[in-house]
Chains A and B, each alone.
Chain A
């Protein structure tokens, strides 16, 4: 037996050999466990709270899904929802991305056909965690298409599975479009890259189908329809285009656009909206260039050069002119949200309703770090790797990351789009570093197998590097775990607090009040509240609301804002015109709950003032700042919002050592005390005052208006002839002189 064979038989070699043999099994097992982990980490919210739909938008999705399951898909297309946007209503079928609801509807139907009669609520609650598992699988595939390496894919899959940014939108109960569409996004990219790598038309068709699912589920599909053309354009400019790219793009574009048009909410926008313009332009360009290169075979070289120059200039110019003309003529339009992406200050200037949403704010560094954590540090390594030896797919990955960073900086919400990119890049980067280190360690342990190389990191440094990288990765995992179990687990309609003994108390005011509305108001009562709570009220209370989180009608929202910002008398008139029976306000002054309506009030004023100019923001500033204490302006203290929020608040002691009526959120004693409401009465207030519901009183008998019935209002009786003036002096002097006319009849 030779010495070489002996070393081959020694332990490290045996281990190495069997590891290589079992690598595919390891690969699959790890991938499966990542998928399971991505599900489990999102179930913390159910364990800590309960199986419930979270936040705001999910309540609409949930309600629509209930409708879908009950009435069927055709009824959903035709559903005209009269419970929202009273008195306008909302055509839900035409204004909704149905992908999410259809997905859970399908799951529900399939399970029921298999005689598993699961509740639709549980399907909705657990949909996002299940799709996050699919997302991590798709991320594995995508990374593998980029790098052709499984270990990079596994790391990316792990990073995507637990990235806090994505987790924030996909914990159990967070039943929102993003939950399924991030999967659709990554899967579309995976299939597209597969097409780019193989040039297969079949995979191109898969890309189009994945894109169709994305269009069906989220407005964020615009990101795909722009980034793929940008990518193709980039390849064209850098001269890396080839027939595979052409196949991939043409199949994707033609089928994708046709399929996108099938969604009623998108329809012909797929042809004329500005979000799609880039895709049309690149389609023309790539085919034109192809045609041109075919022509080249028949024309002399010199002519070609002139022709090329001329045609390129002509093409670019005509496309630009075309877009400008279409935009000016109003044939194509940028939506407010898209414009905000191009010009981050746009919304602040023109559309307060978009600016008022917290998820449309510009991203702060802290949220970047909280939502992506060390991935921000790792991903540049991956980017470097991609730019170092570029291939088409690596370029795509890099482009996706760079564009994602831009969009994520503009809007907090779009961190979600960036998260998979950063995770994939970080996975690529870390695995590349790991590989370098591992190679050097391996060459130290197994000198026979690893071929000697000139430049190699010393094994000691490699081990240190591995330990440090492993440490950072585990810190990331711990952070993600914290985010999943604490930060993003709260359903936001249930609050929890800890008392001094460390016991957890559930504060369930929202549901207390919503359920009160459901049980103890008439079924056709109309509830006026700020639009944030619209979906929750229709979902939980099953009552009609004036405005909700689908902010499609700015004027209507402005009217509600105006009512809230007006004095009680004016607000009463508005409420009466709008048939409002109850007004619901959120008030956190007792419990130090800062997300209440008084803090949102300035947005109501701004949005109301945008349509009704007599509402002026500066009227609500006392001594230059927004305040509720004794220096608050009269307009502020007279506003309906102030009056309703602080009604009888001055009779309670909220904080130790503070006078009565001390607002714990604003940290001030309220300015107006001991007032009575004339047109509204407190119908219900939840235990901790978070939700206050006021009933609009009926107009007092002949209050202010003499002739309300039609028969008498045709006659106008001059005041001096009115027989009532005499009586009215005896009667309530506050009432107008003609009040008691009908008494004499």
Chain B
């Protein structure tokens, strides 16, 4: 009985009658390593109550490859549990709250943007050094939604199409046009595939982490560790340095040769290395990116990363505290970006670790994201009781998760002096004891001269 009530409460997806999508126009971009879908959706409310919430559903086959979803005209996104949808449709539901409700007998056009990774399957699975990378893309012909759709059309933007399974599609230059389809019922799916050429390296970070150490002496040390993997078509046959070199940019197009990271403008002491030392192929410059002052770092891996290859690297830098740490008496407020600096790539697993100065207490973390939090103590230079350390773990992480993380804590003014005094004291003790021991006469027998 209780369970039933619980289920009834949990199932919160309610679709009003006479509320439907009158028109949807989707543009699926297949030109990059990740898939970006922009949809223009017109909702039509023919019912009697204003609609405040709209629902976005994603099939569970794709839900963990969706690294970002957003609707412009909405101000809140929530993952909700709907038993019906979850088990009947095998889908996950997001609830979006509209800024302005859709009044009865009116329409609203919203823009939905979805970002996916790991959507391309290399086919053939192995290619030679000079071959083009062909990939297969699977999608549903119809927009997967809990609402009935009156009219829909989908464009696939791709540079070079090899083949596609839906015969009714029309090809116009770069665009492949699916539809228009009329009066599609909710949750209708029909799988189709497109075989296309995509030479961007299908790289992801299998693991990334950002480790922050805050010092009240003026420095924030940040170290980011990355494990990169190219999940594109594997390299078949010989490597061939004869053709793959800097003079032949067209050979090995599907390998990752360069990455870029954007660091805060006031970062300094940047280093780029791995387990065996510096990677001597990088450049850094300060400049403007997207209207923001940033320090841009061009990173080249030790070797170009072909399909199936892996590499690890570390990017570290320092920030001055005065810009990121606000003080109000004994209260401190630290503002940092959550995500990592290599923004073009999505990470499967991500760990954000921050160590506050020794003796910090009343620690509060404010992060507008769902993360798993673990706290621990870290022992660094001259630490005796350990630095309070917060570890935040998140699965799929991308630049869209680059929210500001605000950490507030309290720290007494004296604790900043503890470590210097400790060092001072131990040296004093050492010198005093040497002076004392030098004057100590331990000779038991006085030998005559």
Which A residues lie at the B interface, using CB under 8 A?
A: 50-52, 115-117, 494, 506, 508, 511-516, 518-520, 540, 648, 651-652, 681-687, 689, 692
Contacts and interface: CB of A to CB of B under 8 A. Distances in A.
B277 interface: yes
A682 B277 contact: no
A683 B308 CA distance: 13
Contact of A511 (B277, B310, B311): B277
Determine which residue in B242, B308, B380 has the highest number of CB atoms from chain A within 10 A of its CB, and name it: B242
Interface in B353-387: 379-384
A681 B381 contact: no
Interface string B38-57: 00000000000000000000
B242 A519 contact: no
B277 A50 contact: yes
Contact of A682 (B238, B276, B309, B380): B238
10 tightest Cβ-Cβ pairs between the two chains A and B:
A685-B241, A506-B280, A682-B238, A52-B277, A50-B278, A648-B242, A512-B302, A540-B276, A519-B310, A651-B242
Interface in B217-268: 237-242, 245
Contacts of B279: 508
Contact of A515 (B237, B238, B241, B311): B311
Determine which residue in B302, B380, B384 has the highest number of CB atoms from chain A within 10 A of its CB, and name it: B302
B280 A115 contact: no
Contact of B239 (A52, A519, A685): A685
B274 A683 contact: no
Nearest to B277: A52
Nearest to B227: A519
A588 B164 CA distance: 49
B383 A115 contact: yes
A652 B320 CA distance: 50
Contacts of B381: 115-117
B237 A511 contact: no
A514 B379 contact: no
Given A50-B278, A540-B276, A519 B241 contact: no
A645 to B, nearest CB: 13
B189 interface: no
Given A506-B280, A685-B241, A519 B382 contact: no
Nearest to A51: B277
Contacts of A506: 280
B60 interface: no
Nearest to A683: B239
B384 A508 contact: no
A661 to B, nearest CB: 11
Given A116-B382, A117-B381, A516 B241 contact: no
A689 B240 CA distance: 11
A425 to B, nearest CB: 34
A114 to B, nearest CB: 8
A115 B378 CA distance: 11
Given A50-B278, A506-B280, 9 more contacts: A117-B380, A512-B303, A514-B276, A515-B302, A520-B308, A648-B240, A648-B241, A682-B241, A686-B303
Given A115-B382, A519-B311, A682 B240 contact: yes
B29 interface: no
Contacts of B433: none
- Interface size grouping (class) on chain B: 20 to 34
Contacts of B383: 115
Nearest to B274: A515
Contacts, number: 72
B310 A520 contact: yes
Nearest to A112: B379
B327 interface: no
A488 B129 CA distance: 40
Given A515-B302, A519-B309, A681-B237, A508 B382 contact: no
Nearest to A511: B276
Contacts of B308: 520
Nearest to A540: B276
Nearest to A494: B280
Contact of B309 (A520, A540, A648, A689): A520
A506 B379 CA distance: 36
A28 to B, nearest CB: 15
Contacts of B237: 681
Nearest to B419: A115
Contact of A516 (B303, B312, B384): B303
A540 B241 CA distance: 22
A696 to B, nearest CB: 13
Nearest to B379: A115
A296 to B, nearest CB: 30
A508 B281 contact: yes
A511 B302 contact: yes
Contacts of B281: 508
A36 to B, nearest CB: 18
Given A508-B281, A540-B276, A519 B379 contact: no
A651 B240 CA distance: 11
A682 B379 contact: no
9 contacts: A52-B276, A115-B383, A511-B277, A511-B302, A513-B303, A516-B302, A682-B240, A684-B239, A685-B241
A540 B275 CA distance: 8
B183 to A, nearest CB: 52
A515 B279 CA distance: 11
B272 to A, nearest CB: 11
